[in-house]
């Protein structure tokens, strides 16, 4: 006899019951463990910065040569906040990309997956070449 409603629980005695799948093992099982690490990046070129204790006023990026002790590399930088800083500062710093001696400077530390970052250029080039090959005459 066929029923109008087939959701579970309605007149279950008329239907055959499906066996439940076996319970999964607790613990890691087949999952891949993802590792994270703390990293600081240059605001200009996104190169990884090795910070031992603190960024000094004279420090520059080894990749592009820009200053690192700037508002844009600070944890407190917020363009929507008053004076573009989440902390209460007395004087607004006009150029956010140049060195300053702000005592409230904290380097912006990001949490990233281990091994993440820029894609290898060979992969990018092969994708670009495959795209260009589509439109060859």
Per domain, the residue ranges of the chain are 35-108
The whole-angstrom separation of Cα 99 and Cα 45 is 16
Strand intervals (E) in 6-115: 36-41, 48-49, 110-113
From first to last of its 137 residues, the chain has per-residue pLDDT tens of 566 666 666 666 655 667 777 777 666 555 566 787 788 888 888 888 876 567 888 888 888 888 888 888 888 888 898 888 898 888 888 888 888 888 888 888 888 877 655 555 555 678 888 888 888 76
Please classify residue 114 by burial: count the beta carbons closer than 10 Å to its beta carbon, then call 0-12 exposed, 13-18 middle and 19+ buried: exposed
The CB density around residue 98, as the number of other CB atoms within 10 Å, is: 13
Q: Given strand 110-113, what is the order of strands in its sheet?
A: 48-49, 36-41, 110-113
* 3-class secondary-structure state, position 43: coil
* Residue 97 neighbours by CB under 8 Å, 6+ apart: 43, 44, 66, 67, 70, 71, 72
């Amino acid at each position: 006899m066929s029923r109008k409603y087939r959701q579970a629980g309605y007149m279950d005695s008329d239907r055959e019951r499906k066996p439940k799948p076996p319970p999964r093992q607790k613990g890691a099982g087949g999952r891949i463990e993802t590792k994270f690490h703390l990293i600081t990046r240059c605001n200009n070129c996104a190169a990884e910065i090795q910070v031992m204790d603190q960024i000094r006023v004279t420090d520059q990026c080894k990749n592009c040569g820009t200053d690192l002790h700037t508002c844009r590399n600070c944890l407190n930088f917020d363009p929507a906040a008053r004076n573009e800083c989440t902390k209460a500062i007395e004087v607004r710093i006009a150029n956010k990309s140049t060195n300053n001696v702000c005592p409230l400077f904290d380097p912006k530390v990001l949490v990233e997956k281990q091994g993440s970052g820029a894609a290898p250029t060979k992969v990018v080039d092969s994708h670009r070449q495959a795209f260009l090959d589509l439109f060859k005459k």
